[in-house]
Amino acid sequence: MHGRSKHIDVRYHFLRELVNDGVVQLQFCGTRHQLADILTKPLKLESFQELRWKLGVCDFLGVN
């Protein structure tokens, strides 16, 4: 196995075991609700503003 992908494989199998044992339940989170997207990819202004609001980050450009 390639060294860079080994940690992904280990995490995947660990999570799979936790799900099978009923310890955790995974839930799909669509890109519209994925808060990390604001930090990882370019977004349309509307999506950016919505995620910024959900994170509680203020827009100081309009503040005097």
Sorted by where each begins, the domain ranges of the chain are 3-55
Determine if the pTM surpasses 0.75. Answer: no
Count how many Cα atoms sit within 13 Å of the Cα of residue 41 in the half-sphere of its side chain.
10
Chain-centroid distance, C-alpha 50? 15
54 closest CA partner among 39, 41, 42 = 39
Q: What share of the chain is helix, strand, coil (3-state, %, to 5)?
A: 55, 0, 45
pLDDT, tens digit (0-9, with 9 covering 90-100), for 4-63: 777 778 888 999 999 999 999 989 988 778 888 888 989 899 988 988 999 998 877 766
